[in-house]
Amino acid sequence: MLCEHLNPTRRSVLGASGALFAWAFAPRFVKAAQARDPRFITIILRGALDGLTAVPPIGDPDYSGLRGDMAMSFQGENAALPLDGYFGLHPALGNFQRLFQSGQAAVVHASATSYRDRSHFDGQDVLESGFPAPRHVETGWLNRLMEVIPRGEALNPGLGKGGVGGLSVGATAPLVIRGKAPLLGWSPAVLRPADADLAPRLADLYGERDPMLAALLAEGVATGKIASGLGMRSKGGPGDPDGMEQMARGAARLLSHPEGPRIAALAFEGWDTHAQETARLAKLLQGLDRSLAAFEQEMGPVWKDTAILVVTEFGRTARTNGTEGTDHGTATTAFLAGGAIKGGRVIADWPGLKEKQLYEARDLASTTDIRGIIKGISVDLLGASPERLVASVFPGSENVAPVRGVIV
């Protein structure tokens, strides 16, 4: 199956470059459930994660036959990490297992959006726009969520006074966080560090001739210092373990700042594993695992009120192909992590892997709509109204109820 190679459009590049805003004067959301000061982070895995390798259903009697040489077990050199006896965890996800065992991480298996075809472009459009079918809209559900969360002392939707609503991490803002609510944009530096006196010299120049540009420069310098730390330079892109960890670490430093944004989106690339999946996916999952550990380390005290959602556009075929990989599928695995997550469990209405139980006799069938999980987090952590979630955030989702109990 051919895969689309997606390039950012000029519009998306311009949207991602969107300016830095002074968050110190921004309005804020109401404190959500239990007087929290919550953070909500969405990580998009672009390319379609193989959920049957990330979280293998080792207890399913049909699993090993479908997967052949790629099947995992609880024994051997590359044994799966134990979760609950039925499901295992890829050995690259050691930090996630630790969080799972401490009740701060959970798995949502056999999950999907409403999309049932297998185009990366359309699948990502549905996942990130929040609409039930691909419409190629220009706003994402996370940005629209910021507009419907009540304002108060804790979170900042960026409505009015030019305040920062959310944090977009990376060179291009993911569709999921594009929209009317303003964003703070940050990406790890890729150029050689400038001389130490360059910023002060520019500040003096702009201060005399363009006060507005001088203010933006000051905010940009401050943002870079908070996110990157001294001497921190780009080590890799969003499809590399070093790049993933660095993006997460910088995002966490900004989110943990008392006057910083509370909602963020990141996108990690390269999850399309048609060939040589075993080695490729191990490297990618290592990067995801390190990024989750970086969030935990850098968020500090606010980790206890943090929820991280890791999602992908669709899954992969239940059977392997002839190139030691898997092709485009349907249901997959989503991950939840953070101190606000009611973890230590696999959330799944397991559909089974017999041929008659597979979607179109080839894919893991979806039994959990990921929109229900997002709605549950939005209601219980952020104080969103279920009615407004249907009206503005996930139009056409009247039959998808919020999954309650995801948040502690």
What digits encode the pLDDT tens for the residues 242-262? 999 999 999 999 999 988 899
CATH of domain 20-188+234-393: 3.40.720.10
In the predicted model, is pLDDT for residue 7 greater than 60?
Answer: no
Instruction: Convert the pLDDT of each residue in 128-185 to its tens digit.
Output: 999 999 987 899 999 999 999 986 544 544 433 334 579 999 999 999 999 999 899 9
* Residue 170, beta-bridge partner list: none
Q: What is the dihedral of CA 128, 129, 130, 135, to 10 degrees?
A: -130
Instruction: Convert the pLDDT of each residue in 290-326 to its tens digit.
Output: 999 999 999 999 999 999 999 999 999 999 999 999 9
Domain residue ranges of the chain, discontinuous segments joined by +? 20-188+234-393
Coil, helix or strand at residue 255: helix
Q: Mean pLDDT score of the chain, rounded to an integer?
A: 85
Residue predicted with more confidence, 5 or 111:
111
Q: What is the pTM of this model?
A: 0.84
Instruction: Convert the pLDDT of each residue in 169-204 to its tens digit.
Output: 999 999 999 999 989 999 987 644 445 555 565 556
Coil, helix or strand at residue 28: strand
In the predicted model, is pLDDT for residue 236 greater than 80?
Answer: no
CA angle 147, 177, 377 (to 5 degrees): 65
CA 57/CA 86 separation, integer angstroms: 6
CA 109/CA 50 separation, integer angstroms: 11
- 47 φψ region: left (φ > 0), alpha (ψ -120 to 50), beta (else): left
Measured in whole angstroms, the distance separating CA 196 from the mean position of its chain's CA atoms is 34
Instruction: Convert the pLDDT of each residue in 198-225 to its tens digit.
Output: 556 555 655 566 666 555 555 555 555 5
* DSSP code, position 24: G
- Of all residues in the chain, the percent with pLDDT exceeding 70 is 77
* Residue 316, beta-bridge partner list: 328
* DSSP code, position 193: P
CA 49/CA 334 separation, integer angstroms: 9
pLDDT at 379: 97
Q: Are 28 and 152 within 8 A, CB to CB? A: yes
Least confident of 22-26, 203-207, 369-373, 378-382: 22-26
